[in-house]
Amino acid sequence: MTSENENYTEILHWLRTQAKELGFSDVRISDLDLSQELPFFQDWLKKGRHGQMHYMSRHANLRANPEELLPGVVRSICFRMDYLPREQIQNPTAENFRKKELEQLQDPSHATISVYARGRDYHKVLRKNLLTIAKLLEEKLAHLNYRVLVDSAPVLEVALATKSGIGWRGKHTLSLNRQAGSMYFLGEIFVDIPLPIDQPISNHCGTCQDCIDLCPTKAILAPFQIDANRCISYLTIEHPGAIPLELRTLMGNHVYGCDDCQLVCHWNKFAKKSNLSDFDVRNQLDRSTLEDLFGWEKADFEKKMQGSAIYRIGYERWMRNIAVALGNYLRSDAIDSIQKLNIAELLSKRIGQISELVDEHITWALNFEKSIK
């Protein structure tokens, strides 16, 4: 007679096969006891390190009590989906990719966009594929209550990924894996069946703290402690108003997100490419210049960014970010006098076209340019 545990083990094997066919690289199971994580999260909120991400403080206790999100839930099925674009990885170690990305950070005319955002919106991809898996699992079992989660509920997903053995929490606070680095998405399916639990893996950061030392804005205050108020990803994506003056020159050519702490991480020499076309680069976002992108009208932005994670920040923040990057381009040693005049003209023409917020950042860029003549 087959035991219940043997049945669940077979189900888990089947589940991992289905997940692989849908582009997931790993599937692990964790319980839902996150009580040890809550004090750290509450302290982070208390210190205001979440910036203006007010949704982080709403229902804060729910983040450590997942059972309140789905009655009867006992397990989280944790998924990893690698996202490096297929066409950009020429060797299995991804060293060429990291080298190229780091070189582009040194080119002040280049518009740096976080790798994960260059293709289709990952929320759409993961949710669709996780729902497919959940429905297949529901069909296979006589009864199943589930909830699919992709940044859609108050859940401490890195903590769940850590408990499940997907990876360990790196000093930059992201999930890290010895075979895949950190360039992957996380998603979960909460279920009410007691699947066999996987074990956490040990931390392999050792004494390395390159992610801390090389963060442009010093947003990583200490191992596992990040201040979103200083993080370029937060500033270019979540922050709704004017970017603090003292941080603008530190942002370099970043216009959406920041991968610096991942690119300098030695484990990302093992980062894996996706096998999905969804994460292929769209609109040449891996090789665009600041001048090209600043020339987009609102209609261009909405057309080209439809279906992208970038779309949700809107045209105003997009142009605000590029204005800051252009200001940094004007101050660089790499720009000649003719280019400087062209950039200044490009910026000046935009004044009064978009919003007062964008105008303020353009004015800052132009005043900065004048101050270094």
Q: What is the DSSP letter of 277?
A: G
Find, among 77, 18, 19, 81, the residue nearest to 278 by Cα: 81
Pairing outcome for strands 112-113 and 254-256: parallel
d(CA 119, CA 181): 20
Q: Which residues are annotated as a binding site?
A: 63, 151, 186, 205, 208, 211, 215, 231, 233, 258-259, 261, 265
Find, among 346, 341, 342, the residue nearest to 362 by Cα: 346
d(CA 275, CA 23): 6
Find, among 186, 187, 194, 189, the residue nearest to 146 by Cα: 189
What HEC string does 69-112 produce? CCCCCCEEEEEEEECECHHHCCCCCCHHHHHHHHHHHCCCCECE
Task: Give yes or no: 336 in active site.
Answer: no
The contacts found for 309-318 with CB under 8 angstroms, 24 or more apart, are 309/116, 309/117, 309/121, 309/122, 309/123, 310/113, 310/117, 310/256, 311/121, 313/236, 313/237, 313/256, 315/354, 316/354, 316/355, 316/357, 316/358, 317/236, 317/237, 317/240, 318/255, 318/256, 318/293
Q: Which residues are annotated as a binding site for cob(II)alamin?
A: 63, 151, 186, 233, 258-259
Annotated catalytic residue: which of 31, 33, 82, 151?
Answer: 151
Q: Which residues are annotated as a binding site for [4Fe-4S] cluster?
A: 205, 208, 211, 215, 231, 258, 261, 265
3-state secondary structure of 168: strand
Catalytic residue list = 151
